[in-house]
Amino acid sequence: MSDLRTILDRIDFTDDALVQKQLADQHSRVRERLAQIQNIVLGMSGKGGGGKSTVTANLGMALARTGLKVGILDADLNGPSIPHMLGLQDQNWRPNGQQVEPAIGPSGLRVASMGFFLDQDQPVRWDGPTHLSHVWLGMLESGTLREFLGDVHWGQLDVLLVDMPPGAAADKPPAILQFIPDAAGAVFVTTPSKVTVSVVRRSVAYANDLGLRILGLVENFADLFGESNAADDCLQKIPYDPDLARSLDTGEPLPANHPAAAMFDNLAAKLMETLR
């Protein structure tokens, strides 16, 4: 898995019988990996721009600061931002036999992301007739997520956070849900605006239809829209903080004693209490 192409080279789409065997083998590897992970939490939203990746990255660091073993899977294949936020954009993945060692971030965070394969400012360019078939593109994306789950050496984890793509596109949550245990839960990130809360609520209803456990909401930019419109299931309100924004731009984590870091520590504690 030294480059993007090798993620998908294992699947020969021209032989149906071989495809079925290869997919079965991959699903088996995924099950073996995920059996070592105690909790899987999806970070979701109803639309982009609300700070979902911000919350995922800082929540991961907060959980890791408590001594928990934590991983982050950046499932936003076309807009990966987790490596930059954690200051990992210059790290290279290390092949280790038939598996790959994840990048190691602050406090020992284990990270997998498409961002490690892309040059700066370059989009994902899939091989194959993606311009002809949305189904083909979906197969490529699902195959990549399956490889991230099955071939990355996650090891024993207390929590795996999955930074989902923005929105509630009908194909994205099922693409990841087909690989993860039924016990997985979701944290939804919103802003206080009525429009955003309305969209996120639709995503929550959709997640309920999929059988996801709803762990709660996080209200980002909590001080920028006037009165809050989040409900009682709001785990944490995160006001805008220029230091936090700067830390994500530079990839330099906030000091553990910074007030914004303390808010994510509080969110981490509430999340773990909810997961018990």
Pairing of strands 185-190, 99-101: unpaired
Q: Which of 35-39, 100-104, 133-137 has the lowest mean pLDDT?
A: 133-137
Tell me which fold the domain 4-275 belongs to: Rossmann fold (3.40.50)
- Averaged pLDDT, 146-175: 82
Long-range pairs for 120-128: beta carbons < 8 A, 24 or more residues apart? 123/78, 124/4, 124/77, 124/78, 127/5, 127/8
Question: Would you tell me how many other CB atoms lie within 10 Å of the CB of residue 202?
Answer: 12
Predicted TM-score (pTM) of the model is 0.87
Please say if the pLDDT value at position 242 is more than 50.
yes
- Averaged pLDDT, 242-253: 95
Please say if the pLDDT value at position 230 is more than 90.
no
The closest of 145, 154, 89 to 115, measured between CA atoms, is 89
Q: Tokens standing for 267?
A: 């969110």
Domain regions of the chain by residue span? 4-275
pLDDT tens digit string along 65-87?
999 999 999 998 888 999 999 99
pLDDT, residue 253, reads 92
Q: Which residues pair with 113 in a beta bridge?
A: 74
- Averaged pLDDT, 254-274: 96
Q: Tokens standing for 237?
A: 């309100």
- Averaged pLDDT, 224-230: 64
pLDDT, residue 72, reads 97
pLDDT, residue 71, reads 98
pLDDT-derived band at 46, boundaries 50, 70, 90: confident
